[in-house]
Structure formats: C-alpha cells, structure tokens
Amino acid sequence: MKNKTILITGGTTGIGLATAQLLQAEGAQVIVTGRNPETLSAARAALGSSALVISSDSAALADAQAIGDVIKKHTTKLDGVFLNAGIGQFGPMEAMTPKHFDDMFGVNVRGLYFQLQSLLPVLTNPSAVVFNASVVAELGFPETSIYSATKAAVVSLGKSLAVELAPRGIRINTLSPGPIKTPIYNKLGFPADAQKGFEDHMASQSLLKRFGTSNEVAKLARFLLSDDSSYIIGENITIDGGVRHT
C-alpha cells in the first residue's frame, strides 16, 4: 500500500477505522470520513497527523455529491476507495416506518452511489473500489427486511458498476461480512441481557461459533484495495465464519 492514497467512508469506528489503521501501517496515505464529532476526534487521535479525517455525512445528499470536490482540495488522485459507511435499524415489519426505510436507503445505497459518482474524477487508472455489504443480502434473517434490502442493492450495484467502470480502469468488488463485533451492535437499544442473548444467537449461526473482528474484515478490504487482487473484479466476497453453511 506504500504511496497509495485511500479514502474510507465511515472510517472513524469499527471496520472502517481498523482498515484505515492497517493501510496506514502498510504505508498508505489514508483519508477517512465520519459524521459524529466525538468519533471524528477519536479517529484523529488514533490515526495521527499523517491521516486526513473529514466530517462528511453519508446520509446527506449534498455531502455525498460534494465529497469529490472536498478530496480535490487535499490530493490530486485516489488509488482506492472503501465505501464502508452504513447504518442498520432492526425490528419486525410492523414496527418499521418510512423514516427507517429512508434513513437506511439514504446512507447505505444513495450515499454510496452518489459518493462514488462524485469521486470518479479523482480515481486513478487503475484504481480499486470496495463496497461494504452484508451476508444478509443473500440470507433471510427476521427483523432485518429493510437493512437486508439495502445490502442486496449494494451487491447489485457492485456487479453492474464493475462492468460499467472497468473501461475506466476502476475495479469494483464487494465484501459481505457476517456477524462482526462492531459498534453497530451497541446501537440496537436492547437491555444488557437481551443484548447478550442477541449476540450469543448471532455467534451461534457461525461455524466458528464466534463473532468476527473488525481487523479480520480489514484484511479482506486491504486485499481487495491492493494490487494483490488485480485480477478480481465484480465479485462479492463473503466473510462470515461460515454462516451461509449453517
């Protein structure tokens, strides 16, 4: 990753931050975005002055469409982008509202799409783009209907845009994590005992009987962003500890 400049959206916590730290350790210039002032400040402390930490809200269409111009102020080119920002809100269908629908599609699909559109002028030829989807794009889990639909859309976009953008030297792939221990599980609003029960159930769905870690996903993201995967394009690679086989 030496001398490569990589942008990671949603890069202030979880998988995004772990990926930024891994790429930085391997010599990349990393740029991360986020929207929470506290996590932005923590990411600046974790990544140090050599990283660029930008406030940009993937849920805001104006921010998504402006990200390319923001990046141009700091660098003339990007070698790779990890479109990682995403949100999840879970519950039975009866409890889901139009706001839940709009919020999740706004970040997970619309934000991703228009961020990439905005970044096209600064992506080099060749360059690599990675979308973060989820194993729920392929599997049916209760109380995840809208979230699963957004991630299925991300997988579909990865396939179609890989074909469309390949002539421009932009290589797109998607990774789909299974149960990974990230801050998203702390935002579900469950009481402590229900939270543990939920996490135990999710871990039991894996052949390895545990959650994956952000660092494990970061290593896959690093591979897909690097020249090591130069002949891989248009793929959706699952990293789920065997959830699909249970």
Res 240 pLDDT > 80: yes
pLDDT, tens digit, for every residue of 51-106? 999 999 999 999 999 999 999 999 999 999 999 999 999 999 999 999 999 999 99
Can 147 be counted among the known catalytic residues? yes
- Measured distance CA(189)–CA(195) in Å, rounded: 8
According to the model, what pLDDT value does residue 190 have? 54
CATH H superfamily, domain 5-245? NAD(P)-binding Rossmann-like Domain (3.40.50.720)
According to the model, what pLDDT value does residue 245 have? 87
pLDDT, tens digit, for every residue of 155-179? 999 999 999 999 999 999 999 999 9
Residues 6+ apart with CB under 8 A from 124: 77, 78, 79, 169
CA-nearest of 174, 21, 213 to 84 is 174
pLDDT, tens digit, for every residue of 179-220? 998 776 555 555 566 667 767 777 888 899 999 999 999 999
According to the model, what pLDDT value does residue 74 have? 95
User: Out of 113, 147, 185, 231, which one is annotated catalytic?
Assistant: 147
> Alpha-carbon torsion 219, 222, 224, 229, what sign?
negative
- Measured distance CA(86)–CA(239) in Å, rounded: 17
According to the model, what pLDDT value does residue 195 have? 63
- Measured distance CA(172)–CA(187) in Å, rounded: 30
- Measured distance CA(179)–CA(57) in Å, rounded: 25
- Measured distance CA(177)–CA(133) in Å, rounded: 7
pLDDT, tens digit, for every residue of 102-132? 999 999 999 999 999 999 999 999 999 999 9
According to the model, what pLDDT value does residue 246 have? 77
Helices (H), ranges, the chain: 14-25, 37-47, 61-72, 98-105, 112-119, 145-165, 192-204, 214-225
